[in-house]
Amino acid sequence: MVRINPLPDGLRYRAFTTYESRKLGVPAKRLRAKDLADGGRLIHVPNGSELDLLERARVVTAATPGAWISHATAALLTGLGLPPWMDDERSIHLSKPHTLPRVRRAGVTGHRVRVFPGEVMEFQGIPVSGRPRTWLDLAKELPLNYLIAMGDQLIRQPRPSLELRVEPYAYVSGLRLLIRQHPNLQGVEKARLALDEMRVGADSYPETFLRLAMRDAGLPEPELQVRVNQHDDRSPAADLGYRRFRIAIQYDGAHHRTREQQSRDIRRDEAFLSAGWSYFKVNADDLAEDFAGVISRIKKAKLRSP
């Protein structure tokens, strides 16, 4: 029987690799003690531990030199979001340069890819595909409308007071260059189509889905972030609409449930209504019916406009 000596403080309560244990002088036989479970090749996990996605990603990349988190796993870690049928995927996606062997490990989906400088970043100490590269990697799997919506999130202008950043994750010009650098990647043609349909100004996936549904229903391309007074940056803004028809549309997502946001929403709603605009509030129920009802009402308002 192996005597269970305490592990170093840095390893005691988390998953770790054989490499990490060696650096801290842990004998190989200590790793066979019954308080540790086999987490896969070179990985050791405290018995009874349930690793979250971030911890799984950390330990798998630490055990696989030269690899980085990519594809669906990268989208989840970096907050890009995924369609409902993809966001509970358990497999960790790991990429390696195309000159190296594909990663073969239980619970891992391995990829061999061509990668250029700047396409891999560090996220909370973990090597991860940058968001633009993740968008391109997922082009093969994502439906076109999701690819457009994810792209809108890449190029939208952030709100510094809420997000602690002042630059978009990507610019259209940078995404065009990314596509040119990977002409043979599966899904690249779909990415090119998506790029032509992307617009700056959508703050969420549903806003993009609404814009695309309006277009597909034969409505004109709506403006995004429409202000009551277009010459005043402090004027209340709706998510999308038509200034010439005096129509404003607001998608109310989960963040609109806070008291502070509801107060802002009331002021915005009153500003548009008092200015004589047709004003539509849209929510998840409308999304569930592909916005058919609200689009019908928008069309009627458009016909009534002077």
179 and 241 fall within a common domain: no
What is the number of domains present in the chain?
2
pLDDT given for residue 262 in this prediction: 73
The reply to whether 179 falls in a domain is yes
The reply to whether 47 falls in a domain is no
- Residue carrying the six token digits 């709506």: 222
77 and 160 fall within a common domain: yes
146 and 265 fall within a common domain: no
- With CA atoms as reference, report the closest residue to 185 among 82, 277, 63, 98: 98
Q: Which domain holds residue 170?
A: 54-197
pTM over 0.85: yes
pLDDT digits over 117-136, tens only?
999 999 999 999 999 999 99
pLDDT given for residue 4 in this prediction: 78
64 and 181 fall within a common domain: yes
The reply to whether 32 falls in a domain is no
Q: Return mean pLDDT, the chain.
A: 93
Q: What angle do CA 219, 159, 274 make, to 5 degrees?
A: 55
**Rounded-to-integer distance, Cα 16 and Cα 10, Å:** 9
82 and 192 fall within a common domain: yes
The reply to whether 100 falls in a domain is yes
The reply to whether 42 falls in a domain is no
135 and 252 fall within a common domain: no
209 and 232 fall within a common domain: yes
The answer to whether 279 touches 265, Cβ cutoff 8 Å, is no
Percentage of the residues of the chain whose pLDDT score is greater than 90: 80
pLDDT given for residue 263 in this prediction: 80
77 and 191 fall within a common domain: yes
284 and 162 fall within a common domain: no
3-state DSSP call for residue 239?
strand
Question: At residue 216, what is the residue type?
Answer: D
- What's the chain's length in residues? 306
- Residue carrying the six token digits 């617009």: 199
146 and 209 fall within a common domain: no
Among 149, 171, 197, give the residue marking a domain's end. Answer: 197
Q: Does the pLDDT value for residue 255 go beyond 60?
A: no
Q: How many CB atoms lie within 10 A of CB 8?
A: 13
Q: Does the pLDDT value for residue 195 go beyond 80?
A: yes
Q: Does the pLDDT value for residue 3 go beyond 70?
A: no
**Rounded-to-integer distance, Cα 66 and Cα 118, Å:** 15
pLDDT digits over 232-253, tens only?
988 999 999 999 999 999 999 7
292 and 191 fall within a common domain: no
Confidence of residue 88 (pLDDT cuts 50, 70, 90): confident
Question: At residue 222, what is the residue type?
Answer: P
**Rounded-to-integer distance, Cα 132 and Cα 150, Å:** 10
**Rounded-to-integer distance, Cα 248 and Cα 239, Å:** 8
Q: How many CB atoms lie within 10 A of CB 283?
A: 15
**Rounded-to-integer distance, Cα 36 and Cα 275, Å:** 67
pLDDT digits over 97-112, tens only?
999 988 999 899 999 9
The reply to whether 155 falls in a domain is yes
Among 142, 163, 197, give the residue marking a domain's end. Answer: 197
**Domain CATH for 239:** 3.40.960.10
78 and 183 fall within a common domain: yes
The reply to whether 49 falls in a domain is no
The reply to whether 114 falls in a domain is yes
pLDDT digits over 64-80, tens only?
999 999 999 999 999 99
Among 146, 176, 197, give the residue marking a domain's end. Answer: 197
Q: Does the pLDDT value for residue 305 go beyond 90?
A: no
